[in-house]
Amino acid sequence: MMAENNENRENIKSAVQNNETPEKVNGEDISGVGTVKERLIVIGKRAWEWLRGYLEIIRDWFTGKRGTRADRWAMAICLLMSISVWLYAMSTNDTGFEKEVIGVAVDIEGESALGAGNMSIINGYDNTVKVTLKGKRAEIGSLDADDLHLYVDVSQITEAGRYTLPVMLDLPSNSTLVSLEPSQVSVNVDVNGSRTVDVRIKLDYRIDASYTLSDPVPNYESVVISGPASVLDTVAYAGVNFNVGEVDKSLTLVGSLSLYDEYGMEISNPYVKCEVSEVSVAIKVTTTKTVPLSVQFANGNSMPYSVTLTPSEIKLIGDPHLLQDINEVVVYTVYDGDFAVGKKKGVSISDFDLPAGVGVADNGSVYVEIERLY
């Protein structure tokens, strides 16, 4: 049937192209069939039979009279894939596809010319634009904000003020620009200046009630900042915040400086520079511990001696991790040849041999009285 239908189509097609009526349909000679009208009626009947044959084949496929269930699934999948490929091909080759990209950052170019004139940008460095492009989906469909380069040129500005500048686009290949929204942005330009501001440290911490935390000591007490004069006027101090959690020993912290106004709000402007980007901060944690005083004997024999220490104990202050290993303080060493029997000797000691980071809380002296008994 398929071969006959193909033959019918070729006969009809050839006749139509030559402005004639076909002489054969379904292999039958219709050249002798009456008038042209009658012949067209015959052609219509034969065409309907041809179409009905195809419809019967399709019906039989879907009703199960032809082929297996697997064949019908395969045919349906192939049909869907064919339609999908066709739709994709049509969409990707369409040069009328429009791509909208939102939030494209606008760079500022030509700043070196401003620097030469002792000027810099106050604001306008954070402008964004919506870009609409036209082209083939396959070539521009995946573009995002990072793929586009927008900029304004400030190299021709010669004095401080507010300027409205056109946004420029480096157009991606095989695309055309539909629109930029907005197509212009404003920038403020100011003269440069410099000033000195204090450094402040803020600590968030927890500490045991028996410990004492000293004031943080930064390695810079003040820093010099430079940039647009009107922005510098709003800077109250340079600061760094630390969240150190539980503190049980002395620390040295390093953090990045930020600039703040008088209300503690951070000032973020890329054109304001600080001579120092980081500071280190020493934090001293101390506690106290009372330990007994003692003397030591060079020969290890304390029996012949009577020793009296006033006071008999001392309060130390220092880092908790250092104090935990100190259980007594030796204030004097006794040598046999230094003492005769029945003789006493008094020694006043104010300089104690203690580890670095540990000191005497009361800054007093110790009086040691030693008597050799025999």
Residue 5: its pLDDT value, please?
47
- 307 in helix, strand or coil? strand
Measured from the Cβ of residue 161, the count of other Cβ atoms closer than 10 Å reads: 11
Which of 177, 169, 172 is CA-nearest to residue 143? 172
Radius of gyration of the chain measured on its C-alpha atoms: 48
- 56 in helix, strand or coil? helix
Count Cα neighbours of 158 within 13 Å in the Cβ-side half-sphere: 1
Q: What is the pLDDT of residues 50-80, one digit of tens each?
A: 777 767 766 666 666 665 666 666 767 777 7
Q: What is the DSSP string of 232-291?
A: HTT--EEEEEEEEEEE-S-EEEEEE-EEE-TTS-EE--TT-EES-SEEEEEE-EEEEEEE
Residue 148: its pLDDT value, please?
93
- 351 in helix, strand or coil? coil
Q: Between the CA of residue 150 and those of 28, 171, 193, 252, what are the distances in Å?
A: 72, 9, 29, 44
Q: Are 292 and 254 in contact (CB under 8 A)?
A: no
Residues 266-269: contacts with CB under 8 Å, at least 24 apart: 267/231, 267/234, 267/235, 269/122, 269/123, 269/125, 269/227, 269/228, 269/231
Give the span between the Cα atoms of 75 and 61, in whole angstroms.
9
Q: What is the DSSP string of 108-177?
A: EE-HHHHHHTTEEEEE-TT-EEEEEEEE-HHHHTT--GGG-EEEEE-TT--SSEEEEEEPEEEPPTTEEE
Q: What is the pLDDT along the chain (374 residues), one digit of tens a residue?
A: 444 445 544 554 454 444 444 555 445 554 554 566 666 777 777 777 777 776 776 666 666 666 566 666 676 777 778 777 666 655 556 677 888 999 999 999 988 888 788 888 888 888 999 999 998 888 888 889 999 999 999 999 988 899 999 999 998 888 889 999 999 999 989 998 999 999 999 999 898 888 888 889 999 999 999 989 989 999 999 999 999 898 888 889 999 999 999 999 999 888 898 999 999 999 999 999 999 988 888 888 778 778 888 888 888 898 998 998 899 988 888 887 776 666 666 667 677 788 888 888 877 778 888 887 77
Give the span between the Cα atoms of 25 and 279, in whole angstroms.
97
The secondary structure of residue 336, as a DSSP letter, is G
Give the span between the Cα atoms of 141 and 99, in whole angstroms.
6
Question: Is the pTM of the predicted complex or chain greater than 0.75?
Answer: no
Q: Are 104 and 150 in contact (CB under 8 A)?
A: yes
Q: Between the CA of residue 373 and those of 268, 305, 306, 340, what are the distances in Å?
A: 78, 6, 7, 9
Residue 39: its pLDDT value, please?
64
Side chain identity at 183, as an amino acid letter?
Answer: S
The secondary structure of residue 182, as a DSSP letter, is S
Tell whether the torsion through CA atoms of 30, 36, 40 and 41 is positive or negative.
Answer: negative
Backbone phi and psi for residue 356, each to the nearest 5 degrees, phi listed first? -60, 135
- 341 in helix, strand or coil? strand
Give the span between the Cα atoms of 276 and 317, in whole angstroms.
35
Backbone phi and psi for residue 48, each to the nearest 5 degrees, phi listed first? -65, -40
Which of 256, 258, 259, 260 is CA-nearest to residue 279? 256
Side chain identity at 190, as an amino acid letter?
Answer: D
Q: What is the pLDDT of residues 16-48, one digit of tens each?
A: 444 444 555 445 554 554 566 666 777 777 777
